Amino acid sequence: MNISNKKRNVGLDLARTIAILLVLFAHTRWISDHYPKVVDYAMRLSGTIGVEVFFIISGFLIGKIILREIQKPDFSFSSIKTFLFRRWFRTFPNYYLLLIVNVVVWYSIYGELPQKLYKYFLYLQNVTDTSLPFYRVSWSLAVEQFSYILGPFLLYGLIKLFPKKNREAFFLYVTLFIILCFILTKIHFYYNDTLTDIVDWNESIRKVLIYRLDVVYYGFLLRYLYDKYHAWLIDHKRHILLVGLVCIFVLHIFRVPLGLTVGEAPAFMIIFYLPLNSIAIACLIPYLDTLEMTFKPLVKFITTISLISYSLYLLHYTIILHSLKAIFPSEELRGLSLWAYTFLYWGITILLSYLLYVYFEKPLTDLRDSPKMKRLLGRS
């Protein structure tokens, strides 16, 4: 079955493809501690940047939808209901199906149900603390789900109170307000808590919802600037791309040599690192959004991996790798045996993600535009 789509943006698909492959590569490190040092180091670096790319792309694309909807004369609560319905129809089926599969895998391996399982059904697993070892990749989905709710409802409230005011300006104000609020939560953490190392930072800051709800809104901010100053951004897209790449290299490769560590620069790591990382990634988007490719095999590969990226993200770690390691323990593997296991894991992951997308995710997503669903939402 051909799952490509001619209307897709190849540059943003490229960003998604790189992002999901970086996440897959990072979590591959769990197979064994015996990868070559340079590979192990690259695995340590790749996970954070991958997930953050998804957040910015999501904000950039969802921001376009929200900005378009609020400027319609007939914008109402029904508009928000339709937006959320479409978002949830896109994200819920895979999430809840694989949540149940995760429960089965967990029970099969450990002989007990995960703790605080109800929180995962409500996306509350990482509101004020990191999620438990169960279904670990779901932390980012909780951040996105609450982002989808927060901004639209704030905008709806402002528009109801001031219906004749500039709605585009409201979009900017709400975006900046949310970014500021969740920078303040990080400042509060800095003055009231202590981190011991980068692992502690990762679990206590990066994956905790109350410190991360700003991340999608850097994509919203980019969307506002992109629409407002489109010509200038396109004219300077290569320079902006270079700035973004330099910042990403500094933040991810040269950060430790520069002394920007949790121990030596806690304020930077707690308050500034993640916002700067989001801004750096946002700098890549104007170039990627206008990128063109003509080599069809490469475009097809990029499109396919991008389309299955959500399924791949949910499957790869806590289901496939967890199960694989339970059946065939891999901790002591080295050399050719380790690489054979690694490529087997990657192959199984991509194959099952493709099948999940084709036979479950895409058919359910397509139902959003069925006549029955349109009637349910009161849409013609």
231-268 residue pLDDT tens: 999 999 999 999 999 999 999 999 999 999 999 999 99
d(CA 258, CA 379): 55
Closest CA relative to residue 288, chosen from 16, 59, 62 = 16
pLDDT at 280 over 80: yes
> Over the stretch 48-57, which tens digit does the pLDDT of each residue have?
899 999 999 9
Structure tokens at 314: 């949910």
Q: What is the DSSP letter of 170?
A: H
> Over the stretch 306-345, which tens digit does the pLDDT of each residue have?
999 999 999 999 999 999 999 999 999 999 999 999 999 9
Share of the chain above pLDDT 90, in %: 90
- Asked if residues 11 and 287 have their Cβ atoms less than 8 Å apart, the reply is yes
The alpha carbon torsion through 77, 81, 82, 86 (nearest 10 deg) reads 150
